[in-house]
């Protein structure tokens, strides 16, 4: 019978041990060290190794740990996360504590993507409502230098649009999952020269989710001119904002009026030209419409956001919640932004739609 300890690699270690100890000859007289016994011995040894690994990790994690400390082992600030990393380091395990072995051990990643059609200057992006990034004309890609932790959400928006361009975002929100975000798209095209403002014919509910979600109603409305890109003059202080400081135009997010832009009615009649901050701080030359309107705004008369008057940031149509409304049949800014005051969120209202 062949000697498996010499021909089978998995027996080599154990065979050598037996030879060294002088036991092999005695063992050979008792029984044949066949392939089956070799496998059993190998798997027994492998089980001992696995048990030892698990025992060390378990002891390390469970010692002096309360249940509350183990609830979120993927939180980089938690004690559980630190203990798991230390245990894996001792055992030579370099994989991520919360992700498969092919995922990086980084705890933060950048957010960015591709840009097409950008020909103007002045495009500024904003990440999670606080980190801004200036994008030069002609850029084809971007990435915020700020790193976002694994598992955290991100949202990219426009602080300001580029001169002569109207840009749109694709895949602008998501969750960081262990790698740099590179799939956001910014697609730019030429903006309007004399931009139209119109009032919707239909009234729309308040609970659309956020201010920028009103934009789609501009396209669906019977008064939509048929061409052009439009946004609704509604703010929530988060997805859309006109100004932080009264009549200044600072901290804008996805605001609807451009700087020094001429605005007209659908028939071509001049309304007014915005100032250098994309606001109207004096009276309009001509009312936006020829009849009274009752439209959602969420604005104070000074273009700041009325956070208590935005139907819970446009997430509810409850009767007991209120939203700020205005009237576009006016040359007065106060009336346009807040002239109809706080109204019940349960009633549908019109929109002021602004071409981009």
Decide which of 167, 190, 213 is a domain's last residue: 190
The band of 77, judged by pLDDT with boundaries at 50, 70 and 90, is low
Look-up of token digits 């230098």: 145
The domain that holds 120 is classified in CATH as: 2.60.40.10
User: What mean pLDDT comes out for the span 101-122?
Assistant: 83
**Residue 103 covered by a domain:** no
**Would you state the pLDDT for residue 107?**
79
Q: In the predicted model, is pLDDT for residue 145 greater than 90?
A: yes
Decide which of 42, 63, 90 is a domain's last residue: 90
Examine the domain organization and report whether 119 and 81 are in the same domain.
no
The domain that holds 276 is classified in CATH as: 3.10.100.10
State the burial class of residue 315 (Cβ atoms within 10 Å of its Cβ: 0-12, 13-18, 19+). Answer: middle
Examine the domain organization and report whether 143 and 212 are in the same domain.
no
The band of 91, judged by pLDDT with boundaries at 50, 70 and 90, is low
Examine the domain organization and report whether 212 and 343 are in the same domain.
yes
Q: In the predicted model, is pLDDT for residue 32 greater than 90?
A: no
**Residue 319 covered by a domain:** yes
**Residue 97 covered by a domain:** no
Examine the domain organization and report whether 117 and 46 are in the same domain.
no
Examine the domain organization and report whether 149 and 174 are in the same domain.
yes
The band of 86, judged by pLDDT with boundaries at 50, 70 and 90, is low
Q: In the predicted model, is pLDDT for residue 21 greater than 60?
A: no
**Residue 180 covered by a domain:** yes
Q: In the predicted model, is pLDDT for residue 129 greater than 80?
A: yes
Examine the domain organization and report whether 245 and 305 are in the same domain.
yes
Helix or strand holding residue 111 (H, E): strand 111-116
The band of 76, judged by pLDDT with boundaries at 50, 70 and 90, is low
Examine the domain organization and report whether 139 and 200 are in the same domain.
no
**Residue 208 covered by a domain:** yes
Quick one: residue 295, left, alpha or beta (phi over 0 = left, psi -120 to 50 = alpha)? beta
- How many whole angstroms separate alpha carbon 5 and alpha carbon 33? 8
Examine the domain organization and report whether 59 and 112 are in the same domain.
no
**Residue 95 covered by a domain:** no
- Secondary structure class of 30 (helix, strand, coil): helix
Strands 352-355 and 194-199: antiparallel
Q: In the predicted model, is pLDDT for residue 80 greater than 50?
A: yes
User: Which pTM does this prediction carry?
Assistant: 0.67
User: What mean pLDDT comes out for the span 74-100?
Assistant: 61
Q: In the predicted model, is pLDDT for residue 153 greater than 80?
A: yes
Examine the domain organization and report whether 287 and 337 are in the same domain.
yes
Examine the domain organization and report whether 354 and 218 are in the same domain.
yes
Examine the domain organization and report whether 216 and 356 are in the same domain.
yes
Q: Give the C-alpha distances (Å, rounded to integers) separating 305 from 210, 237, 299, 300, 325.
A: 13, 6, 5, 6, 12
Q: Which domain holds residue 122?
A: 108-190
Examine the domain organization and report whether 175 and 220 are in the same domain.
no
**Residue 98 covered by a domain:** no
Degrees to nearest 5, angle at CA 82 with 76 and 83: 145
Q: In the predicted model, is pLDDT for residue 23 greater than 80?
A: no
**Residue 219 covered by a domain:** yes
Task: Share the mean pLDDT of the chain.
Answer: 81
Q: How many domains does the chain have?
A: 3
Where are the extended beta strands (E) located within 207-332?
A: 230-232, 262-264, 270-273, 295-296, 322-326
Decide which of 169, 190, 211 is a domain's last residue: 190
User: What mean pLDDT comes out for the span 84-92?
Assistant: 64
Point out which residues pair with 344 in neighbouring strands: 322
> Each residue of 217-276: pLDDT tens digit?
999 999 999 999 999 999 999 999 999 999 999 999 999 999 999 999 999 999 999 999
């Amino acid at each position: 019978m062949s000697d498996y300890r010499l021909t089978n690699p998995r027996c080599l270690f154990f065979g050598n041990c037996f030879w060294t100890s002088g036991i092999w000859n005695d063992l050979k007289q008792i029984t044949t060290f066949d392939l089956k016994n070799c496998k059993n011995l190998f798997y027994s040894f492998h089980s001992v190794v696995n048990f030892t690994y698990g025992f060390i990790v378990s002891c390390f994690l469970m010692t002096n740990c309360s249940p509350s400390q183990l609830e979120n082992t993927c939180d980089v600030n938690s004690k559980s996360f630190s203990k798991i990393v230390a245990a894996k380091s001792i055992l030579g395990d370099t994989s991520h504590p919360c992700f498969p072995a092919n995922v990086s051990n980084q705890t933060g990643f950048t957010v960015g993507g591709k840009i097409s059609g950008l020909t103007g200057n002045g495009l500024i992006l904003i990440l999670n409502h606080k980190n801004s990034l200036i994008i030069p004309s002609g850029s084809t890609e971007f990435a915020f230098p700020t790193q976002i932790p694994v598992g955290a959400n991100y949202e990219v928006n426009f602080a300001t649009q580029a001169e002569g361009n109207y840009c749109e975002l694709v895949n602008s929100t998501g969750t960081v999952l262990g790698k740099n975000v590179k799939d956001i798209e910014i697609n730019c095209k030429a903006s309007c020269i004399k931009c139209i403002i119109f009032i919707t014919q239909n009234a729309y509910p308040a609970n659309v989710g956020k201010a920028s979600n009103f934009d789609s109603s501009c396209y669906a409305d019977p008064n939509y001119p048929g061409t052009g890109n439009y946004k609704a003059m509604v703010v929530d202080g988060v997805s859309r904002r006109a100004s932080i400081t009264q009549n200044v135009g600072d901290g804008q997010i996805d605001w609807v009026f451009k700087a020094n832009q001429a605005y007209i009615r659908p028939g071509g009649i001049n309304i007014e030209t915005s100032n250098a901050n994309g606001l109207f701080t004096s009276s309009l030359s001509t009312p936006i419409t020829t009849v009274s309107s009752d439209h959602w705004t969420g604005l104070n008369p000074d273009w700041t956001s009325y956070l208590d008057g935005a139907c819970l940031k446009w997430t509810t149509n409850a009767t007991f919640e209120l939203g700020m409304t205005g009237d576009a049949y006016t040359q007065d800014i106060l009336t346009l932004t807040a002239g109809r005051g706080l109204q019940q969120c349960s009633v549908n209202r019109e929109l002021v739609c602004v071409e981009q």
